[in-house]
């Protein structure tokens, strides 16, 4: 999630090396590197699947590569399915594709999308529906035609390669609106949990409970239920682990200050693009001083207790952003936090069983 404070052509190699180093460190510590997608900002963001393909031979075989999220409306659906399926094959099914609409501002306009088409989520919704048809399509089926505001196509032969996983790769969809939430459950798609509800435990519990109930009511085969419950993902945007709670909080504030300094540079640089990119809209509540997303800040014991609580509510999969800027002044904070999490927190959950449909989710927070 790089803010382009170093944005000249001669900076690109350095920033790519930073991202490679962070990715390999995470993989060596038993974590699965996740990438976002942005354009005109950060030299690996614009093609995260190609970046992951470069790294795949360099990480342990059991490592997954994740994307949170690929901006579906920015791709021709056939090309996106081809690329996703190919990386799924090359990693032997170890790719996790978060799918969403992407940020507003400069990016949709550059991709030829109107504000209404992108901002209403129509572009993403249409893309996901078409992609589902492409994964379903078999040789010999009647021709399938599609047309959106931006793309069109006629399909008379299956997309190749097929995904490594049955039917389609592992996908995790954004689901902010009730209809998207219901569609995900009906289609057996994992979702990003807590979207728009970070910091409110009761709303998170309600969402987990409702999603699990909807998945079970859809009468999916057990393998689809397992897929939904394993990979539905809760974002924890602020992670700082240290020997004591006090030190973890101090490190978090240092990391936040470093991030805010980068935001100041980013905002000032992009002020000249105000007509093309609404900076305040894109950054939203992440503007200076804001703390967004769930948090895991504290000693290993404190952090583990919170993870145990999330697990009891039915959450299997956490997407963690360790505070500290790998390209800034606080790399050591991020790296030490990752290493302590690996040494003191992860082993406590090594033998934890993946939750299934029988787990009861509490109705309220104490």
Count of CB atoms situated within 10 Å of the CB of 100: 24
Three-state secondary-structure class, residue 84: helix
Average pLDDT over residues 224-228: 94
* Residue 6 binned pLDDT confidence (cut-offs 50, 70, 90): confident
* Residue-wise DSSP of 24-56: HHHHHTT---EE---SSSSTTTT-HHHHHHHHG
Tell me: the pLDDT tens digits for 262-315? 988 888 877 766 555 544 333 333 333 344 458 999 999 999 999 999 999 989
pLDDT score for 195: 64
* Residue 199 binned pLDDT confidence (cut-offs 50, 70, 90): low
Tell me: the pLDDT tens digits for 52-65? 999 999 999 999 99
Distance separating alpha carbons of residues 130 and 144, to the nearest angstrom: 10
Tell me: the pLDDT tens digits for 127-142? 999 999 999 999 999 9
Instruction: Name the superfamily (CATH) of residues 1-174.
Output: Luciferase-like domain (3.20.20.30)
Three-state secondary-structure class, residue 277: coil
pLDDT score for 289: 36
The CA-to-CA distance between both ends of the chain, in Å, stands at 34
Radius of gyration of the chain (CA): 20
- For 71, 96, 143, 152, 341, the CA distances from 134, given in Å and listed in that order, are 18, 18, 11, 13, 40
Average pLDDT over residues 346-356: 77
pLDDT score for 269: 77
Distance separating alpha carbons of residues 303 and 311, to the nearest angstrom: 12
Kindly report which listed range (71-75, 91-95, 359-363) carries the lowest average pLDDT score: 359-363
Decide if 72 contacts 99 (C-beta within 8 A): yes
Q: Is the dihedral of CA 305, 309, 310, 312 positive or negative?
A: positive
Residue (of 22, 14, 94, 37) closest to 62 by Cα position: 94
Distance separating alpha carbons of residues 39 and 81, to the nearest angstrom: 20
- Sketch the domain layout of the chain as residue ranges: 1-174, 236-349
Residue with the bigger pLDDT between 172 and 195: it is 172
Tell me: the pLDDT tens digits for 63-89? 999 999 999 999 999 999 999 999 999
Task: Answer whether residue 347 shows pLDDT above 80.
Answer: yes
Residue with the bigger pLDDT between 250 and 179: it is 250
Find the Cα–Cα–Cα–Cα dihedral 256, 42, 192, 236, rounded to 10°. -20
Distance separating alpha carbons of residues 251 and 298, to the nearest angstrom: 10
Distance separating alpha carbons of residues 260 and 290, to the nearest angstrom: 9
Distance separating alpha carbons of residues 32 and 59, to the nearest angstrom: 10
Quick one: how far is CA 127 from the chain centroid? Answer: 18
pLDDT score for 161: 98
DSSP designation for 345: I
Distance separating alpha carbons of residues 51 and 111, to the nearest angstrom: 20
Decide if 107 contacts 71 (C-beta within 8 A): yes
Residue (of 172, 281, 301, 282) closest to 227 by Cα position: 172
């Amino acid at each position: 999630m790089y803010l382009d404070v170093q944005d000249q052509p001669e900076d690109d190699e350095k920033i790519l090396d930073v991202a490679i180093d962070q990715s390999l460190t995470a993989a060596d510590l038993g974590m699965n590197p996740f990438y976002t997608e942005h354009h005109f900002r950060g030299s690996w963001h614009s093609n995260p699947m190609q970046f992951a393909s470069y790294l795949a031979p360099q990480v342990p075989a059991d490592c997954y590569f994740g994307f949170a999220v690929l901006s579906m409306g920015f791709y021709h659906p056939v090309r996106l399915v081809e690329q996703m399926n190919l990386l799924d094959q090359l990693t032997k099914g170890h790719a996790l594709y978060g799918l969403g609409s992407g940020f507003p501002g400069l990016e949709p306009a550059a991709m030829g999308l109107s504000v209404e088409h992108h901002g209403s989520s129509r572009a993403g919704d249409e893309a996901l529906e078409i992609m589902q048809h492409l994964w379903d399509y078999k040789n010999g089926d009647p021709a399938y035609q599609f047309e959106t505001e931006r793309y069109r196509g006629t399909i008379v032969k299956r997309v190749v390669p097929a995904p490594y996983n049955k039917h389609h790769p592992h996908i995790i969809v954004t689901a902010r609106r009730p209809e998207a939430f219901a569609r995900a459950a009906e289609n057996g798609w994992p979702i990003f949990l807590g979207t728009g509800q970070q910091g409110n435990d009761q709303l998170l519990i309600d969402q987990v409970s409702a999603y699990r109930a909807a998945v079970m009511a859809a009468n999916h085969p057990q393998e689809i239920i397992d897929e939904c419950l394993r990979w539905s993902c809760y974002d924890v945007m602020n992670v700082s682990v240290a020997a004591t709670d006090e030190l973890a909080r101090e490190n978090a504030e240092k990391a936040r200050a470093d991030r805010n300094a980068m935001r100041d540079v980013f905002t000032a640089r992009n002020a000249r693009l105000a007509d093309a990119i609404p900076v305040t809209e894109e950054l939203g509540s992440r503007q200076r001083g804001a703390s967004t997303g769930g948090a895991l800040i504290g000693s290993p014991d404190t952090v583990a207790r919170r993870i145990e609580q999330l697990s009891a509510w039915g959450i299997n999969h956490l997407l963690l952003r360790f505070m500290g800027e790998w390209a800034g002044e606080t790399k050591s904070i991020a790296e030490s936090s990752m290493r302590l999490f690996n040494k003191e927190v992860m082993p406590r959950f090594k033998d934890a069983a993946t939750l299934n449909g029988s787990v009861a989710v509490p109705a309220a927070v104490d």
